[in-house]
Amino acid sequence: MFLTSFKNMKKIQKFLIPINLFFLTNCSLLHFTKDEPPPVEKKVVIIQTQYPKPLVGRVEWIDMPEFQLRIRSRIDTGAKSCSLHATNIVPEKEGDSIFVSYDTVGNDGKSMRLRSKVLYESKVTSTNGKSESRYVIRTKVKLGKVSETVNVNLNDRTNLTYNFLVGRNLLMGNFVVDVSSSHILGD
């Protein structure tokens, strides 16, 4: 008996499926609810950044307006902060503040004596694993059209190619770095 009813159900299903499809397609056009607004179409919108970040290469020019200094610098995303070549560093206490006088070399190769207020003294571990204490100053650094006041540590970079190292404290949020290029911002 079960097999007979199962066969009959199959026949009934074959008959009902077309009726159900007809009913569903035609009744879906009818509105049985009160004044529903038509469904809202969703569109994908691509929003471009209003202020795209400028691209910089592995070597760029920076300006330090406070010192009238323009220096070719190395862009280093691995360095936490910026670093300026400084030798003959002499700390001087004035009241509650400490100032440092130091020599640096401009791009023209001329040595110049500078003086800055010390923000703090920092322990920095270099890439060779050696830790040393460095004075940190705060000054304005201009890279391309972006000008930021950042912390800059003073370091003897005599044996290094570039007298200034641009670190993440200037780069982060301001630039995209392309290490395959140099002087993208111009000479």
CA–CA separation, 120 vs 104, rounded Å? 20
**pLDDT in single tens digits along all 187 residues of the chain:** 444 555 555 565 565 555 555 555 555 555 555 566 667 776 655 555 555 888 899 999 999 999 999 999 999 999 999 999 999 999 999 999 999 999 999 878 889 999 999 999 998 877 778 888 999 999 999 999 999 999 999 999 988 899 999 999 999 989 989 888 888 887 6
CB burial of 24-39 (b: ≥16 within 10 Å; e: otherwise) equals eeeeeeeeeeeeeeee
pLDDT at 154: 95
Are 133 and 123 in contact by the 8 Å Cβ rule? The answer is yes
pLDDT at 2: 46
CA–CA separation, 156 vs 85, rounded Å? 5
CA–CA separation, 173 vs 103, rounded Å? 31
pLDDT at 3: 47
- pTM for the structure as a whole: 0.69
CA–CA separation, 32 vs 136, rounded Å? 74
pLDDT at 7: 58
Among 136, 64, 139, smallest CA distance to 100 is for 136
